[in-house]
Amino acid sequence: MDGMINYKVADRVAVITLNRPEKANAQNYPFLYQLNECWERAADDDEVTVIVLQAKGKHFSAGHDLAGTEYPKTDELRSQGKFDLTHHYRYELKHFLGYSLNWRNVPKPSIAAVQGKCIAAGLMLCWPCDLIVAADNAEFSDPVAGGLGIGGVEYHGHTWEFGARKAKELLFTGRTIDAYKAEQIGMVNRVVPLADLENETMALALEIAEQDPFALLQAKRAVNQTLDIMGFQTALQSVFDIHEMGHGAMWSRRSEGESRGSALERMKERNQEIAQRQRTEAKA
C-alpha cells in the first residue's frame, strides 16, 4: 500500500510508516483512515507477530491537520449549516478516541519509533503502542489545553503516561519534554541516537517476534487488563467528554464571533512563546 501510510511485512514484523513528511505527518481524515486499515491488517495477519509504527521525515507527527478537511462530509454539512456538535462528537469518538483505543487493544505487541516533534494528537499515535523507542531528538508536548482552551487531546493518556503531577505541569504550561526526561518518567522504553532509531527498533521487534505469539498476547493482556481494572479505558471515555465540553465552549465563542482562524493563530503564537521560553532556559 502506498499513500500517506506505507505498510510492509518481513520476518514476522509488520512495519507501518507514516508517510506525509512534507506536512510533518499531520493527521487528516484519509491519513487516519489508512492508518487504521494498516493496524487492522496487521492485527488479522497470521504472518505478523509484532507491529512497528514509524514515521518518515524529521518529525513523528505534528498532530491533527488543523488546516485540512476533517472528514469527507464536513465541508458539505458545513455549507448547508448542518454540521453541529453531534457530528463533531461522533467524528472524534470514532476517529480519534476510538481508533487509538483499537490500536492499543490489538492483541499483538507494538512498538513506536519516535523522532523529532510529537505534538498533541501525535501522542495519540505513539501512546497506544506497547513500547516506545525514542530518538535522542524526540520531543513530546500537548499544547491544546492553553492553546485552544481544551483540556488536552481526545485520548487522555497524560495522567497514565506522565504521572499526575507532570501531567498537570505539561498541560498547564504546554511545555515539551525531551526523550531523556520521557525515559526517566517511564513514558519511553529507551532513547537511541537518531541515526540508529530504525535499526534499534527493528532489532527489538525481531527479538520479540521470536517469542510465541500466544505468550505475547497473554503478557500484553495481563498488563492491559491490570490498567483497565485500575480504570484506564473508563477514565479515557470519561475525559473524552471533558474534551468535548471544551469544543462546546469553542463553538459558543465562535457563535459570538471568534473565527476558527483566530483561535488557531492564538495557539500558534502561544506555541512560539513557549518554545522561545524553553530555548532561553536551556541556554541559561
Whose CB is nearest to Zn ion? 92
Site string for Zn ion, 41-80 (x = CB under 5 A): ----------------------------------------
Residue with Cβ nearer Zn ion (130 or 154): 154
Nearer to Zn ion by Cβ, of 1 and 249: the residue is: 249
Q: State the minimum distance, in angstroms, from the CB of residue 211 to Zn ion.
A: 37
Closest among 88, 83, 9, 82 to 42, alpha carbons compared: 9
Give 92 or 198: the residue with its C-beta nearer to Zn ion: 92
| Nearest-5° Cα angle at 66, 92 to 155 | 35
Distance, in Å, from the CA atom of 11 to the CA atom of 249, rounded to the nearest integer, reads 49
Please name the residues in contact with 155: beta carbons below 8 A apart, sequence gap of 6 or more.
96, 97, 100, 101, 123, 124, 127, 128, 236, 240
List Cβ neighbours of 172 (8 Å cut-off, separation of 6 or more).
Answer: 145, 146
The residues with which 9 forms a beta bridge, in sequence order, are 14
Nearer to Zn ion, 92 or 139 (CB): 92
Which 78-97 residues touch Zn ion, going by CB under 5 A?
A: 92
Contact flags string 184-223 toward Zn ion, x per CB under 5 A = ----------------------------------------
For the CB of residue 32, give the shortest distance to Zn ion in the complex, in Å: 13
Q: Which H or E element spans position 7? A: strand 5-10
Q: What are phi and psi of 27, to 5 degrees?
A: -100, 115
The residue among 92 and 178 lying less far from Zn ion, judged by its C-beta, is 92
Q: Which residue ranges make up the site for Zn ion (CB under 5 A)?
A: 92
